[in-house]
Chains A and B, each alone.
Chain A
Amino acid sequence: MESCTVDLKALAWHNKSLVEGCPAVSHISRSHSSCSADTCRHDPSTVYTQLSYLDSPRSNSSNGFATRRKGGELSTRHWWLVGLVFLVAATAGVGVGVPLAFRGDPSQSLDTRLEFAKKILAEFPLIDGHNDLPWNIRSFIHNQLEKLKLNESLKTVEPWSVSNWSHTDIPRLLEGRVGGQFWVAYTPCAAQYQNAVQLTLEQIDLIKRVIKKYNQYLELVTNSQDIKTVFKKGKIASLIAIEGGHGISNSFGSLRMMYELGVRYLTLTHACNTPWATSSVIERQSPDAKKTENFGLTDFGKKVVQEMNRLGMMVDLSHVSTQTMRDTLATTQAPIIFSHSSSRALCDNPRNVPDEILHEVKKNRGIVMVSFYADHVSCTEPANVTHVARHISHIREVAGIDHVGIGADFDGINKTPDGLEDVSKYPFLLAELLRDPTWTVEDIRKLIGENIIRVFSEVERVRDDLLAKGVEPLEEEIHPEYLRGKTNCTYIFD
C-alpha cells in the first residue's frame, strides 16, 4: 500500500548541504525561486549603515515614496523639541506619548530616526503577519524543543547559523521590538491527500509548546483585544495561523477544530491548488490563468470562506491566484488579509497583489501585509529596505493607509533585502519611512499594528453577527470528483 505519510526527511535540510552553500531547496519544500549562487554567498551580517540609499535624502526629486499628503510640514526644530520633551519626561519618571501628528523628516540622521522609531514601537505594537519559524523547527530539529534555546542567539548555533532561511530568535525579536507575531503552522503541498491534517496539528502543538516554554517572552493570543493586553505586559502577542488550505483536507469539521485550537487565519492555498481554490502557481504556468473564470474558488471554496466568516477565522489570500482573490473578495462578508504579499505594480509577480485587487481590498476593509522576500520586493535589482518602503507606500496610495501592514515572512524566505536581514531590523524599516514627510506617526501606528488589530476585530464582529442570526455550521462534503481519484489515503464510508 502506498504510504500516506509524507516523507519529511526528504524535505528537511541536512547540515551538510547547508555548509556546502545552497540549502537543498526541493520543489516540494519551498515554492520560491531557486537558490542562486549570489544568495548563498550573501552575508547575513550586512548592517543597515553599510547600504547606500537609492536616492539622496536631500534630493528635490521624489525619493521614491508616493507623495500624497497635504498639510503643513514640521520643521527640524520640532524633532529637537520632541527629543527634549522625552528627556525631561524620562528624568521626571513620567511616560510621554509619541505625538501622532509627527511627520517624517529626511534631514534627520539615521540614528535620530531609529531612536524615534524605537519609541514608536515601545508605545504601539508592531504585529507581523507571517513567520515560519515553526517549520524551521520541524526541518532542523524535528520539533524536539529540548534541542532549541530560542532565548539565546541562534546566529552562532548550527544549523540555524548556516541557513539562509533562519532569521528569528528571541533576542532578535526583542531587538526588533516585535509586539505581536502570527506564527505559521505550515505543511508542505506534498502532504496534500496524505497526512496533512496530522502534520498541521503537530505544528499547532509545536507553536503552543514554544510559547509555553518561552512564556516569559511570548503569550498565546486568540482574540483581537488580548493583543494589546499582552503587549502592555511587555510580551510578544503570539497568534497561530495555518498556511495552505490542504491542511484542513476539505473538511469543515477539521476547519472548525483548527479554530478551536486557536488558529486565527488560514492561507487558502500554498504553492498548489486545493480541490476548491487555485494558487498563484497556475499563473506562472499559464499567464492567461489570471483572467480565466475557471481558475478561482469553486462553490465548495466559497463555502469554506463563508464558514471561516462564521467562525471568525481570517481569510488569508497570500499565495492564491488572482481569480481566487477576486472570488474571495466577492464572497466574503468579513475583511480579508494578505499575510505576506507585496505590490504587483512595483514587481510583477503572481505572488504580489495587483492594483485592481488593492481597490477591492479597500472596499473590503481588509489589509495587505507587505512581505520582505527579496525577489518579490524587487524584480530587477538587489532589494533593500527602500524597496520595501516603496511597496508599503504604494499600497497606502492605492488602498489607503487603513489597509496596509507588515508580514515579512521571516524564516520562510532565503533572500532578504539589504537592511532587513532578520527580525531585529524592523526599526530600520520605520526609520526609512520616517525619511518621508508624508508619513506621520499616526500612519506608522496603523501600518505596524492598528490596522491588523482592526481587521481582526471586524472579523470577530462578523462572527458575532452571524451567530446572532443563527447561521448554522456547514456540513457539506466535497464532491469526490474534485479529489481526482486521489483517495487512496482516505477512508471511504459505505
Chain B
Amino acid sequence: MLSVGGEAAVVVMWVLTAARARCEASPLPVRVSPQATHQERLQAAHHLLAHSPLIDGHNDLAWNVRKFLHNKLHFFNLSSDLTQEKPWMNSPFSHTDLPRLKQGQVAAQFWSVYVPCEAQYLNTVQLLLEQIDVVKRLISASPGDTTLVHSSAGIIEEFERGRVASLMGVEGGHGLASSMGVMRALYDLGVRYVTLTHKCHTPWAECSEPGSHPPNTRGLTPYGKEMIWEMNRVGMLVDLSHASSKTARDVLSTSRAPVIFSHSATRALCHIDRNLPDDILSSLALNGGLVMVSFYTDFISCSETATIQDVVGHINQVRTMAGVDHVGIGAGFDGIN
C-alpha cells in the first residue's frame, strides 16, 4: 500500500484501458519508482499523457475574454503566446493559451461559461448566451487545434485526432433564472454541466458562502430537486463546486446520475466551507461521481502559497476517501489569481 501524501514526487500510474492502447512502441508504465529522477518521472508523465487524455474540469478563460476584450475577438487569437501580450501578461488571472495547453498536453477542457452573482435577477440568460457564443467563436477560430464536443465519445475521438476537445460548463445556476426551459436550451447549445451555484444562493439551492441574504432553505428546495432530476433526464452533469455541504448532500441523495465537483478540494487538508468534508467524499463512491481537484492556493493550503505536493495531497485524500475512480483534475485556471 502506498503512503498518502507527503513524500516528494511519488507518481504512480495505473494502466486504465489496455484495450485502447495504440500501436506504438512502449507500453504504459505501470509504476514509476520513487527513486526515479525528476526527469525520468516527467518523461513517464509525458508518455502517459500522450496515451491517456487529461481532461480538466474548469477553465475561466472565456470570462477573461469578456473582462479584457468585451468579447471582441477581432484582434485576439487563442494560438498566440499570451505571456507576451497585454493585458494578459500583466494579469495574475491569466494562465491559458493554446501553446501552453499543448505544452501541458491537455486533451480536453471544460470551458466555464460564467455569469457573476451581481447579475442575478438581471439579464443573466443573455449574458450566458453571449459567453457561449464567445467560447464557440474562439473554438471555431482555431479549427486545427480544438473542436467543440458534446459527448464522452467525442473527447476520445478528438484525442485520437490530436486535437483539444472543448466542452462547456455553465458556472452559476443563478444564470438559469430558475428555468428548466433555459437549462434545456443551454444543453441544446452544447453545455454539458451546470455548477448549481456560484457565490450566491439561487432560489432553489444554497451555496457555500453565507451571502447577504439567507437561502430559501438549507440545501435544495423541492424545486431544486426537480431541477436535478430534469438535469439527469437530459444528461446535463450536475456540478457541486461552490455549493454548500447541505446542498451537496441533498443532491447526492436525489440525483439519479453521478455528479461532479469541477474545481474543488478537501476540507481535511484545508478547513474551509468551499472544500469538501470527508463524508461527502465517501458518498461519491456510491454515487459514482467525481471530485476534480482545484489548484487555487486558498483552497489547497488555506494560504496564498502552495506547492505541487499540496495539490497531490488533496488528490490522494479524495482517492483515499472516495476511491481512485472518483478523483480528477479541475484546476480553475484563469479564474484564480
Report A's interface with B, CB cutoff 8 A: 1, 4-5, 143, 195, 197-198, 201-206, 208, 249, 251-254, 256-257, 260-261, 472-473, 475, 477, 489-491, 493
Contact = CB atoms under 8 A, between A and B. Distances in A.
**Complex A-B, nearest 8 residue pairs according to Cβ-Cβ distance, in ascending order:** A253-B130, A202-B181, A253-B133, A491-B119, A205-B181, A198-B125, A201-B185, A257-B129
A205 B119 CA distance: 23
Given A197-B125, A197-B129, A491-B116, A261 B70 contact: no
Given A205-B184, A261-B188, A475 B74 contact: yes
Contacts of B136: 256, 260
Given A257-B129, A475-B72, A491-B123, 13 more contacts: A4-B121, A5-B121, A5-B177, A201-B185, A206-B181, A253-B134, A254-B126, A257-B189, A260-B189, A473-B137, A490-B123, A491-B115, A493-B67
A257 B72 CA distance: 16
Interface residues of B, number: 34
B111 to A, nearest CB: 15
B70 A256 contact: no
A202 B182 CA distance: 6
Contacts of A197: 123, 125-126, 129
Contacts of A490: 122-123
B71 interface: yes
B73 interface: yes
Contact of A198 (B131, B133, B182): B182
Contacts of B179: 198, 201-202
A261 B72 contact: no
A289 to B, nearest CB: 29
B182 A201 contact: yes
Nearest to A494: B67
A311 to B, nearest CB: 12
A489 B126 CA distance: 11
B132 A257 contact: yes
B116 A254 contact: no
B87 to A, nearest CB: 13
Contacts of B184: 205, 208
B127 interface: yes
Interface of B: 66-67, 70-74, 115-116, 118-119, 121-127, 129-134, 136-137, 177, 179, 181-182, 184-185, 188-189
A143 B73 CA distance: 38
A92 to B, nearest CB: 47
Contacts of A252: 133
B185 to A, nearest CB: 4
Nearest to A143: B181
A207 B112 CA distance: 28
A472 B74 contact: yes
A477 B137 contact: no
A204 B179 CA distance: 13
B178 to A, nearest CB: 9
Contacts of B74: 472, 475
B36 to A, nearest CB: 49
A203 B125 CA distance: 14
Nearest to B116: A491
A118 B165 CA distance: 51
Nearest to A202: B181
B73 A475 contact: yes
Nearest to A249: B126
B71 A475 contact: yes
Contacts of A249: 123, 126
A204 B119 contact: no
B234 to A, nearest CB: 11
A87 to B, nearest CB: 48
26 contacts: A4-B122, A5-B177, A195-B123, A195-B125, A198-B125, A198-B177, A198-B182, A201-B181, A201-B182, A202-B185, A206-B181, A249-B126, A251-B126, A251-B129, A253-B129, A257-B132, A260-B189, A261-B188, A472-B74, A473-B137, A475-B74, A490-B123, A491-B115, A491-B119, A491-B124, A493-B66
B55 to A, nearest CB: 24
Residue with the highest number of chain B CB atoms closer than 10 Å, among A1, A5, A208, A257: A257
A489 B181 contact: no
Q: Is the interface of B mostly helix, strand, loop or mixed?
A: helix
Contact of B118 (A1, A261, A472, A491): A491
Contacts of B126: 197, 249, 251, 253-254
Contacts of B129: 197, 251, 253-254, 257
Contacts of B177: 5, 195, 198
A472 B130 CA distance: 16
A338 to B, nearest CB: 27
A135 B22 CA distance: 54
Nearest to B133: A253
A491 B127 contact: yes
A203 B118 CA distance: 26
Contacts of A1: 121
B130 A254 contact: yes
A148 to B, nearest CB: 15
Nearest to B124: A491
Contacts of A206: 181
Contacts of B66: 493
A490 B74 CA distance: 25
Nearest to B121: A4
Nearest to A489: B122
A205 B180 CA distance: 9
Contacts of B121: 1, 4-5
Nearest to B131: A253
A202 B122 CA distance: 17
A206 to B, nearest CB: 7
Nearest to A196: B126
A490 B118 CA distance: 10
Contacts of A5: 121, 177
Contacts of A477: 70
A488 to B, nearest CB: 8
A254 to B, nearest CB: 5
Contacts of B189: 257, 260-261
B122 A256 contact: no
B202 to A, nearest CB: 14
Contacts of B122: 4, 489-491
Given A195-B125, A489-B122, A491-B127, A253 B116 contact: no
A483 to B, nearest CB: 12
A262 to B, nearest CB: 8
A4 B124 CA distance: 11
A201 B119 contact: no
Contacts of B115: 491
Residue with the highest number of chain A CB atoms closer than 10 Å, among B124, B185, B188: B185
Contact of B123 (A4, A201, A204, A473): A4
A485 to B, nearest CB: 15
Contacts of B133: 252-254, 256-257
A145 to B, nearest CB: 11
Given A201-B181, A202-B182, A491-B118, A251 B125 contact: no
Contacts of A203: 181
A489 B123 contact: yes
A472 B185 CA distance: 25
A197 B129 CA distance: 9
B130 A201 contact: no
Contact of A204 (B67, B127, B130, B185): B185
A472 B76 CA distance: 13
Nearest to B72: A475
